[in-house]
Amino acid sequence: MNILITGIHGFVGSNLVIALKKRHVLYGLDIVAPEKEGVVKTFAWEDIESTSFPMQRLPQFDAIIHLAGKAHDTKNQSVAQAYFDINTGLTQKIFDFFLESTAKKFIFFSSVKAAADSVVGDALREDVIPTPIGPYGESKIAAENYILDKLKNKNEKLKLHDDRKQVYILRPCMIHGPGNKGNLNLLYNVVKKGIPWPLGDFENKRSFTSIDNLCYVVEGLLTKNVASGIYHMGDDEALSTNELIALMCEAMGKTPHIWKMNRKMMEGCAGLGTLLHLPLNTERLRKLTENYVVSNEKIKAALGIERMPVRAADGILKTIRSFSN
């Protein structure tokens, strides 16, 4: 297949190139255009606007994977409008291009944060009514809604289940793998220094997405006849922070230092931290210890598989060993 990947030079894009280049012809669309092994050519965003770069001069794409976006800023230092300009605006531009192109498949990388900031119940599933909090999740759900509204618009000939065009909105939870510089790296640096983890009394569960499992799913969406729709993405097993720290220590050959400080006492300290504006406050404690389990049952059923190829623990170990290297 001829595949156009936006944001091809990012973490996910670079891994997708490695996974897809042997079986497909890859093109990029990005704000930078260095040469990349396995990529025929990287276009600029201006190139997809027919007025400046006629569509006839572009390759005939079979599929478009839209990765480009502004990542979640956990320090909350980004201007809110920047999320909408990039996450929503670029999605509108590339999806309009898709509708006019010969491409049959469109994969949009949204986020579970478009669905919910916190998980109510045992797991986050696709039938949840989206309630994003903050500009990152809000900009992603706005992009999703644009896609769905375009497909359902009476003036459009295409519909969501039209066989000629298949559209997938993929909502992964935290993605990790070699080359990743996200939150796992922050926790890794804490554990590496031997700093004890004082929240061992909280047995929370969180879902993660191994980049290898993610690439496997994308390949499946490209090559199998999967129904259009929204799909959540995560590994099969959810891990607690305690398990995560233990895996990090295993990868580094260290002994984990997990302190089970009294839960009520830690909640009291966090409450005091809120009053005194200290680093550990009630909101931060909630984020560090809450459950955020994402169901991957729908995507596995759609692909006709019982398990993801990579176990959650094995994926984490691979990522942490890459940090050590």
CATH number for position 60: 3.40.50.720
Residue 100 resides in a domain = yes
Residue 319 resides in a domain = no
Residue 53 resides in a domain = yes
Q: What is the pLDDT of residue 159?
A: 46
Q: What is the pLDDT of residue 77?
A: 58
Residues spanned by the domain of 135: 2-179+207-235+295-309
- For 267-301, how does the pLDDT look when each residue is reduced to its tens digit (9 = 90+)? 899 899 899 888 788 888 887 888 999 999 999 99
Q: Residue 127, Cβ neighbours under 10 Å: how many?
A: 8
Q: What backbone phi and psi angles, to 5 degrees, belong to 172?
A: -80, 150
Provide the β-strand partners of residue 232.
171
Residue 162 resides in a domain = yes
Residues in the chain: 325
Q: What is the pLDDT of residue 156?
A: 52
Residue 8 resides in a domain = yes
Contacts 24+ apart (CB under 8 A), 85-90: 86/139, 87/136, 87/139, 87/140, 87/142, 87/143, 88/139, 88/140, 88/142, 88/143, 88/146, 90/6, 90/45, 90/66
Q: Can you tell me the distance from the alpha carbon of 27 to that of 37, in angstroms, rounded to the nearest whole number?
A: 11
Residue 212 resides in a domain = yes
Q: Can you tell me the distance from the alpha carbon of 220 to that of 75, in angstroms, rounded to the nearest whole number?
A: 35
Q: What is the pLDDT of residue 113?
A: 95
Question: Taken in order 87, 90, 92, 98, is the CA torsion positive or negative?
Answer: negative
Q: Are 101 and 61 in contact (CB under 8 A)?
A: yes
pLDDT of residue 104 exceeding 90, the answer is yes
Residue 287 resides in a domain = no
Q: How many domains does the chain have?
A: 1
Q: Which residue has the tokens 């001829």?
A: 2
Q: What is the pLDDT of residue 158?
A: 45
pTM score: 0.90
- For 37-88, how does the pLDDT look when each residue is reduced to its tens digit (9 = 90+)? 999 999 998 888 754 555 657 889 999 999 999 887 655 556 889 899 999 9
Residue 159 resides in a domain = yes
pLDDT of residue 315 exceeding 70, the answer is yes
Q: Which residue has the tokens 């509108």?
A: 92
Q: Are 202 and 263 in contact (CB under 8 A)?
A: yes
